Structure 1
Amino acid sequence: MKLFSKEQIYEGDRLTTERQNISSTDLMERAGTQIFNWMHMRMQGAQVPVHVFCGIGNNGGDGLVLARHLTTHGYNVITYVVNYSETRSKDFLINYDRIKNVSKDWPKMMTNSANFPKIHKDDIIVDAVFGIGLNRPPAEWVAEIFQKFRASSAFTLSIDIPSGLYTDKAIANENAVVHANYTLSFQSPKLVFFLPETAKFTVQWEVLDIGIDRDYLVNTETEAELISKFEILPLYKPREKFAHKGNFGHALIIGGSHGKIGAVNLASRSCLSSGAGLVTAFVPECGYHSLQASIPEVMVLTDKEERYISDIKFNIEPNAIGIGIGLDTREETMKALESFLEINKNNLVVDADGINIIARKKSLLKLLPPQTILTPHPKELERLIGKWSDDFDKLDKVKSLSSMYNLIIVVKGANTVIVYKEKIYINTTGNPGMATAGTGDVLTGIITGLIAQGYEPLPATLFAVYIHGRSADIAVEDYGYQSLIASHIIETIGEAYIDLFKPPEQTTEPAQEQEEQQ
């Protein structure tokens, strides 16, 4: 699903009115009616008080359309106008006149927070104060109204976006943003619904189709996309009846050090479970027996050193290499990695200490093959790109690094983001149970296994991140968040593959909590 920018949304509105020969007021009527239909289907005439707070721009106009339909259908609705400016949009004024024609109780004007109405916790608040056009902080008294929304504990429904949020930059004051229980977003969700600092302002969201021009929606390229089953399924490569293990590639997992051989175990197992035909692990001598005993399907090569990797040499020809898990960052290992990168021509996935070593010596970035995949957790990412001031700054820094060195970078989190140059892809699977040791090693193995099978690096990364999270969503049903471990995720990779082909009604919905996973 495409995530349209503010500018693209405005252009879509303009083209829709032009191509469908309707006015902007007609489009507003369509949007407000869709919100009413959503509420009407759920409320079924219930007389709980509905408090509709409207701004004086187009978002407020949407709110007035909703309030008018609620009124004409006999609901107990009270409408307010948050009068934060002398400037009104044309469509707001038209709908202000329309609602006055259907109700003797005209919208109540609010010019400060002192006359905020009494709202019971069982009431409903509709937030239609600010839309996507907001470009400066709300006035202090308006922010106080938003705080009163929250203090009331009433269910709060935001129209299009929680008021006070920007679509394209960070907020300065959390108290100046509406905390919505639910947001009805027109035509597509907003990027800020998925970023750690701003996702918390709406517990849930849903998209309403308001009939924006289909050609525009299909043909417009967006900076951000949401990745779900429907985007992943077309990437799947089916297997031929007479295929054999040689058709599905040879993956090499390089890593491990004394006390950290388990990371290689997890990556190798998940690599196999992703479908790689052959998997070899390259580890220090101390890892030989444990790997041979615990994963009989994996071949093992060892370094001459007992406790760490000092020289990366092998006599096989892998199709993809995953490197860095449990590797250690001692001087000898750093030199070994640099020597390896100087001669390596294979597709590469770099994780954990591999990233930490590169972060210490940034010149190694120039040695990475095109479309190398980096999978840092937040602290590793910080070592790589430096500190960031907010989520937008973080994404800008990641995009810059990706573009400069032609890298695919996986930004792990509750909604893992895959960045390739100026494009970002937001994953929709996964849950808080993934916040446990080893889940990143599992992801490295899955990506490496998919590339070994012939998937191109970017599709392999998107597919792997989705399957990784979906496996965890399946496993968490049996283990719960607290008891989920990385091995459980490997055990359900097969079920995640099968789940791709289940009809929607048979698919278990992923957990919705917006907490960091890894």
Structure 2
Amino acid sequence: MKILSAKQIKEADKISLEKQDISSTELMERAASLVFEEIHKRLEGAQIPVKIFCGIGNNGGDGLVIGRQLLEAGYEVTIYVVNYSDQRSKDFLVNYDRIKNLTTKWPVLLKSEADFPEISYGDFVVDAIFGVGLNRPLVDWVANLVKHINKSGAFVLSIDLPSGLMADAPVEDKESIVKANYTITFQAPKLAFYLPETAGFVGDLQILDIGLDKEYLQQAPAVANLISRPEAKALYKPRQRFTHKGTYGHALIIGGSYGKIGSVCLTATGALRAGAGLVTIYAPKCGYEILQTTLPEAMVITDPHMEILTNIEYDIDPDVIGLGVGIGTKEETIEAMKNLLKGNKKPMVIDADGLNILSKNADLLNILPEGTILTPHPKELERLIGAWKNDFEKLEKVKRLAAKHEFIILIKGTYTFTVTPDDLFINTTGNPGMATAGSGDVLTGILTALIGQGYEPLRATILGVYLHGKAGDIAAEKLSYEGVVAGDIARHTGAAIFDLFETQLNNT
């Protein structure tokens, strides 16, 4: 699913009005009526106080339509108009008059903090103050109204966006954003819904198709693409019957140090569970018995040093290399990694201390193969690109690094972002149970395995991140968020793949 900008949504509105030969008032009625139906479906006629806060633009117009229809359905509704300016949108005025013609209980004008109504814990609040058109900070008394709503404890439903949140730009005062329990947005999701700094204001999200022009929506370039099951399924390539282990690639996993052999074991397990035909682990000598005992499916090559990597040499010809988990940052290991990279042309996935070494030796970035996948967590990312003021600046910095070196870079988090020089993909699987040691090591193994099986790096990354999150979801359903450990994610990777191909096991 595409994420579109505020500007694109406005353009879609305009084109839809022209092609469908309808007025903006009719489009507003259509959109707001769909929201009314969702509210009515949930409230089922319950006589709880419904308090609707309307701005004086088109978002407020939506709120007026919803309020009118709730009144007509017999709900206990009070409508408040947040009168922050003398300017009114045309469609707001049309629907304001319709409310006045329907009932003697006219909307209450709010002009200052002295007008704020009491909002109780049991109230149902509809936030229709600002929508996708907001492009500046709130005036002080309106910001205080937002804080008043947030402090009330009432259930809050925001229309299009939580008021105070901007679709495509950072917000300086996060205290002045409505914290919604539920957001119903129109036609397409907005980027702010998925960024760490702003996603928490959205609550549960519902996207309503309000019938905007399909041709425009299909042709409009996406700000980002959401990846869920349909998109992942389209990327997945089922196995054919007449194949053998060599068909599915040889993955070399390089990592580990004394006390951190578990990390490379998790990575190799992730690779095997994601379908790698062959997995070889290159680790210090101290890991030999552990790895051969724990993971008999993998082959093991050991470094001359007992505790760290010092001389990464091997006589195999892998299809892909996963590098960095648990290797540490000792000088001997840094030199070994430098020597490896100078002679390597194979596709690579680099994680953990491999990234930390790159951040301290930026010249190495220039010799990595194009299409290399970097998988940093937030602190590793900061070491690579420097600090950022907000999530939008972070995205721009990551895009610049990706463009400079033709990398694919992950921004790991609740919604993991896959960043390329040209595109942005946002994963929708995963859960809080995956916030556990070793989870990222498993992801590195999954990505390495998919590249070894012949998936090109971007396709492997998008699909691998999805499968990793889905495996975590399946594990959490059985074990709880708290009960999930990284090994559970690796063990459920096959179940995540099975969910994609369903009845395709007999595909020939």
TM-score normalised by the chain length of structure 1? 0.95
After TM superposition, what 4+ stretches of structure 1 lie above 6 angstroms from structure 2? Answer: none
Deviation at 1:100, TM superposition (A): 1.2
State the match for 2:235 in structure 1: 235
User: What letter is aligned with 1:170?
Assistant: P
SS in 2 for 1:279: strand
Structure-1 separation of matches of 2:15 and 2:369 = 43
User: What letter is aligned with 1:426?
Assistant: I
Answer whether contact 2:443 2:464 (CA < 8 A) is retained.
yes
RMSD: 1.2
Answer whether contact 1:49 1:76 (CA < 8 A) is retained.
yes
**Is 1:437 equivalent to 2:437 in the alignment?**
yes
Answer whether contact 2:57 2:92 (CA < 8 A) is retained.
yes
Structure-1 separation of matches of 2:502 and 2:69 = 39
Moved more, 124-133 or 213-222: 213-222
Answer whether contact 2:2 2:224 (CA < 8 A) is retained.
yes
User: What letter is aligned with 2:169?
Assistant: K
Structure-1 separation of matches of 2:114 and 2:137 = 20
Aligned residue runs from structure 1 range 60-209, under 5 A:
60-209=60-209
State the match for 1:56 in structure 2: 56
User: What letter is aligned with 1:313?
Assistant: E
Aligned residue runs from structure 1 range 243-254, under 5 A:
243-254=243-254
Q: Deviations over 1:328-376 (max 9, x none)?
A: 1111111111111111111100001110000001111101101100001
User: What letter is aligned with 1:423?
Assistant: D
**Is 1:454 equivalent to 2:454 in the alignment?**
yes
Structure-2 separation of matches of 1:40 and 1:231 = 32
**Is 1:347 equivalent to 2:344 in the alignment?**
no
Structure-2 separation of matches of 1:157 and 1:198 = 16
State the match for 2:29 in structure 1: 29
Q: Deviations over 1:371-429 (max 9, x none)?
A: 10000111111100001111111111111111111110111111111111142111111
State the match for 1:298 in structure 2: 298
User: What letter is aligned with 1:470?
Assistant: K
SS in 2 for 1:101: helix
SS in 2 for 1:500: helix
Deviation at 1:501, TM superposition (A): 4.1
User: What letter is aligned with 2:180?
Assistant: A
Structure-2 separation of matches of 1:298 and 1:249 = 13
State the match for 2:16 in structure 1: 16
Structure-2 separation of matches of 1:151 and 1:296 = 57
Structure-2 separation of matches of 1:28 and 1:37 = 14
Answer whether contact 2:162 2:183 (CA < 8 A) is retained.
yes
State the match for 1:271 in structure 2: 271
Deviation at 1:196, TM superposition (A): 1.1
Structure-1 separation of matches of 2:76 and 2:175 = 29
Unaligned runs of 5+ in 2: 504-508
How many residue pairs get aligned? The number is 503
SS in 2 for 1:125: strand
Answer whether contact 1:451 1:460 (CA < 8 A) is retained.
yes
Unaligned runs of 5+ in 1: 504-518
SS in 1 for 2:203: strand
Q: Deviations over 1:173-209 (max 9, x none)?
A: 1221111110000012211111111111122110011
State the match for 1:508 in structure 2: none
Structure-1 separation of matches of 2:259 and 2:402 = 32
User: What letter is aligned with 1:248?
Assistant: Y
State the match for 1:410 in structure 2: 410
Percent identity between matched residues is 54
State the match for 1:514 in structure 2: none
Deviation at 1:483, TM superposition (A): 2.4
Answer whether contact 1:223 1:422 (CA < 8 A) is retained.
no
User: What letter is aligned with 1:364?
Assistant: L
Answer whether contact 1:252 1:321 (CA < 8 A) is retained.
yes
Structure-2 separation of matches of 1:198 and 1:14 = 28
Deviation at 1:466, TM superposition (A): 0.7
Deviation at 1:223, TM superposition (A): 2.0
SS in 2 for 1:80: strand
Answer whether contact 1:320 1:452 (CA < 8 A) is retained.
yes
Deviation at 1:115, TM superposition (A): 1.7
